[in-house]
């Protein structure tokens, strides 16, 4: 069962385009917050 890892750990060890997009989105959000009503 050691091969099975939680989604979070798997994301860290094996970055996917989806996770990379989330990271870039978070960085952009932190650098340039979007004001929404």
pLDDT at 4: 57
Sign of torsion, CA 11 12 16 18? positive
Neighbours of 24 (CB within 10 A): 10
**The pLDDT value given to residue 1:** 47
- pLDDT tens string for the chain (37 positions)? 456 555 555 555 556 676 777 778 878 877 776 666 6
Under 8 Å between Cβ of 13 and 5: yes
- C-alpha to C-alpha distance for 10 and 30, rounded to whole angstroms: 24
Token pair belonging to 34 = 């979007």
- pTM higher than 0.85: no
Instruction: Report the chain's C-alpha Rg in angstroms.
Output: 14
% pLDDT > 90, the chain = 0
Q: What is the pLDDT of residue 37?
A: 62
Give the Cα separation of 37 and 27 in Å (integer). 21
């Amino acid at each position: 069962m050691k091969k099975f890892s939680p989604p979070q750990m798997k994301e860290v060890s094996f970055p996917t385009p989806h996770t990379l997009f989330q990271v870039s989105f978070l960085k952009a959000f932190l650098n340039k917050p979007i004001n929404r009503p």
